Structures are given as C-alpha cells and as structure tokens.
Amino acid sequence: MGVHSSENALPAAVYRVFIDESHAHAMDTPRDVAFTVDEGSYIVRWTAKNGKNYRKPAQIPVGSNYARLGRFMDSNKSTLTTFGPGFSYFSFSRTGCSWQNIPPALEENIQNCMNVRRPACVALGVEGTYIVIFDDGTVTFNLQGMYPEAETIIQNRAKRNGLKYIALSPFRAGHHYAVCRDGSSHWKLPASWKEQVTAVSKGIRTVAQKTTSSASSRKTHKVGWKEGLEIVSRRQMIQQFLRSYLTFVVVCWIG
C-alpha cells in the first residue's frame, strides 16, 4: 500500500497510462503497484484496455538490489508485491512466492505452512515488524508494540468477518491502513490525508457490499485467494488517488 505525493511522483510516461484513457496502453485494471523504500524506484503492472498486460520497468537490471524479484516477475504474469526496509520485499503469484531480507521468523513461518495455506497479504513495517494474512483467514504477526491500533484490529477481526488487507508504514511506526471483510476500513495516517482516505474507504465499502451480494447469489462459486474485494478495492484505490495526485495502493508505503 502506498501514499505517494507529487514530490515523488511516478514518471510522467507511466502516470499517463493511469489517467489518460486515450493512451495506447491505457490502464483498465491495475495488477501490482509498489514503491521501493530504499531506492526510490517502483514496480507497476497493469492490464490495459486493449486486453494486454504491461509492466514498468519492463526489466529489472541484473545488478539491481531487486534482481531476484525481477527473475520472479519474468516468470509470473501476475504478482502482488510489498517492499520493506533494507531492500526487503515479498511478492507472490498464483503459483509461488519470492522474498528477500524479510524477518527470519516470518520466513520460517511461511516456509513451514506453504503446503497448507498461502499468504494473501504481507505487510512489512519498521524494525522487522510484519503481518501476514493467509488465504484461510488466519493471521500471523510480530508488531513489537509499534503498531498498537493495528494489533487491536487484528485481535478484533472476527467482529468484522475477518481481515482482508493491511499495510504498515516502513517509515513511521503506528501508521497503517486496514480493510476488513465486511468492507470497513481502519487507519492511522497523517491528518492531511483524511479527506482522500475517507473518500476511497467509502468506495471500498460500497464495492465490498456489491461483491458480497453477487457472491451470495452464486452458491456454487468458490472465491479464490486473489479474487473479490482485494482486486476490486485495489483498482478503486489506485484510480481515485491517482486522479487526486496521490498514489494509494495495496502494496508498499512511501512516507
């Protein structure tokens, strides 16, 4: 997840893809948007209105600190990526995961349960803090007391039908954004972002209600671990915030 101000804006050529519907590669559905913490670079993947998939940058240099991620993306058409401090990242697709420099306890946990459950959302915070939401609804976390409000949301998630998505700021302890499965959103962010975040969160709630209604009418449909609210809310957030000169996504955080 990210909030990216105009001072650290996407390159103009990439920005146009998101807002200019006449662009040859105009975005229809964003697939993966993440900003690195250490290098000031980014990863953007989207499906264009022409039905083709694109990625910027098209290649990650071999000598880059994220060369491993580049190889993973080259072999996976669809990914969801989170960047953290110290050149850390976690990226996953339908067929596998790739990570680097994540906390040892997190790495061990994921490796031990990979055949039983899969990560559906990974958040990397300050000083080795993390949260993982698995596709079976379980949550593993180590926040070291640095994100107390986020921990409260996790502990009370059953009251909101579970936790769908959460992001931690890798710059500012305590700052987070969360979406529960009932469509409600909870956050601790700078006061100056309140208007934009509130507007986007209302959109998420509306979409979640529509998604739930549609799913209930299709009794035989099994919602996969990348379907539903995550995909729809990601698109909703990116489109609205880019048009407000902010980039607000479900992956990484620029403080």
Task: Write the pLDDT tens digit of every residue in 27-42.
Answer: 888 888 888 887 667 8
- Averaged pLDDT score across all residues of the chain: 78
Domain count, the chain: 1
Q: Is the pLDDT of residue 75 over 80?
A: yes
Instruction: Centre a 10 Å sphere on the Cβ of residue 127 and count the other Cβ atoms it contains.
Output: 11
Lowest-confidence segment of 52-61, 83-92, 237-246 by average pLDDT:
237-246
Instruction: Tell which residue, 69, 79, 77, has the closest CA to residue 53.
Output: 77
Judged by average pLDDT, the poorest of 61-70, 99-108, 193-202, 208-217 is: 208-217
Amino acid at the residue 174? G
pLDDT at 1 over 60: no
Residue 152 in any domain: the answer is yes
Q: Is 78 part of a structural domain of the chain?
A: yes
**Residue 192 DSSP symbol:** G
Strand 130-134 versus strand 139-142 pairing type: antiparallel
The yes-or-no verdict on residue 105 having pLDDT over 50 is yes
Residue predicted with more confidence, 113 or 18? 113
Q: Quote the pLDDT of residue 228.
A: 35
Residue 216 lies in a domain: yes
Rounded to an integer, the average pLDDT of 195-202 is: 79
Round to whole Å and give the CA distance between 183 and 203. Answer: 9
Confidence of residue 221 (pLDDT cuts 50, 70, 90): very low
Nearest Cα to 237, choosing from 187, 192, 184, 199? 199
pLDDT higher than threshold 60 for residue 235: no
Q: Give percent of the chain above pLDDT 90.
A: 44
**Does 59 reside within a domain?**
yes
The verdict on residue 93 lying in a domain is: yes
Pick the residue with more confidence: 227 or 43?
Answer: 43
Around 8, how many Cα atoms within 13 Å sit in the side-chain half-sphere? 16
Q: Strands (DSSP E) along the chain, which ranges? A: 2-4, 27-35, 42-48, 53-56, 80-84, 88-92, 97-100, 119-124, 130-134, 139-142, 163-168, 176-180, 185-188, 247-249
User: Mean of the pLDDT values across residues 42-50?
Assistant: 89
Tell me the C-alpha distance between 163 and 223, whole Å: 15
CA proximity to 122, closest of 147, 142, 146: 142
Residue 254 within a domain: no
User: pLDDT: is 186 or 200 the higher one?
Assistant: 186
- Helices 12-19 and 229-242: crossing angle in degrees, nearest 10, is 120
- Whether 203 maps to a domain, the answer reads yes
What pLDDT is recorded for position 246?
33
Residues with Cβ < 8 Å from 93, sequence gap 6 or more?
72, 76, 77, 78, 79, 80
Q: What is the pLDDT of residue 191?
A: 85
Would you state the pLDDT for residue 9?
54
Does residue 57 carry a pLDDT above 80?
yes
pLDDT tens-digit map of 126-153 = 999 999 999 999 999 999 999 999 999 9
Question: Where in the sequence is the domain holding 233, given as residue range(s)?
Answer: 2-249
